[in-house]
Amino acid sequence: MARLPILHYPDSRLCKVATPVETVDNDIRTLVNNMLETMYAAPGIGLAATQVNVQKRIIVMDVSEQKNQPLVFINPTLIECEGSIESEEGCLSVPGICETVRRFNRVRVTALDVNSKSVEIDASGLLAVCIQHEMDHLDGKLFVDYLSALKRDHIRKKLEKQTRSVSRIKLSS
Ligand code: K1U
Ligand code: ZN
């Protein structure tokens, strides 16, 4: 297994729309394992393939306390959504930023698992929020896109400054 580099906002590759996986083969299973390792190491509760610069419709998540209940959704589709919930979200591609976002509170999702078997799950609360956040990544959307242009611009400038100072440190060492 390997840890993959995570793209940071405002990298334009985060805006790309991912394409469906045609065949769930060993290459896809290796990518899924690497995504899980990357998510657990970050640490995070979810990760979309877009964030590791792979434009395929794959998301991984684990919202359990013990971090022992990985979920893998390939070609996920939302088939029912209801209610609304406002919660604080973070994003591994927008490090150090946490903002309140409104989402559906319950969702029903269909997807393929790593054995190419169809799965259907009902989710609510944090898992429902996480599924929507990760599926947004596959459509090139970030949680900052739900914020005002002013707030988004402030976050973009802050992260660009951070990236510049990290590059300067790397250059001088
Ligand atoms: O997609 C991502 O960037 C992962 C993101 C998922 C997410 C978090 C919160 C609400 C919706 C979606 C994260 O995992 S950010 C890190 C995080 O939430 C966390 C980290 C350590 C422990 C617990 C949570
Ligand atoms: Zn994210």
State yes or no: cis peptide before 43, omega within 30 of 0. yes
* Three-class secondary structure of residue 112 per DSSP: strand
Atom of ligand 1 nearest to the CA of 137: 1
- CA dist 136 and 91 (Å) reads 12
Which backbone phi and psi does 98 adopt, to 5 degrees?
A: -135, 125
Of 1, 7, 4, the C-alpha closest to 163 is 7
N- to C-terminal Cα separation, the chain: 29
Task: State both tokens at 162.
Answer: 């951070």
Closest residue by Cα to atom 14, ligand 1, is: 44
The pLDDT score that the predictor gives to residue 170 is 75
The pLDDT score that the predictor gives to residue 55 is 98
Q: Does 134 participate in catalysis according to the annotation?
A: yes
Task: State both tokens at 45.
Answer: 């509760």
CA dist list (Å): 15 to 12, 41, 51, 64, 118: 5, 24, 10, 29, 28
- CA dist 122 and 146 (Å) reads 24
CB 45 less than 6 A from any atom of ligand 1? yes
The pLDDT score that the predictor gives to residue 83 is 98
Tens place of pLDDT per residue across the chain (173 aa): 899 999 999 999 999 999 999 999 999 999 999 999 999 999 999 999 999 999 999 999 999 999 999 999 999 999 999 999 999 999 999 999 999 999 999 999 999 999 999 999 999 999 999 999 999 999 999 999 999 999 999 999 999 998 888 888 777 87
* Three-class secondary structure of residue 148 per DSSP: coil
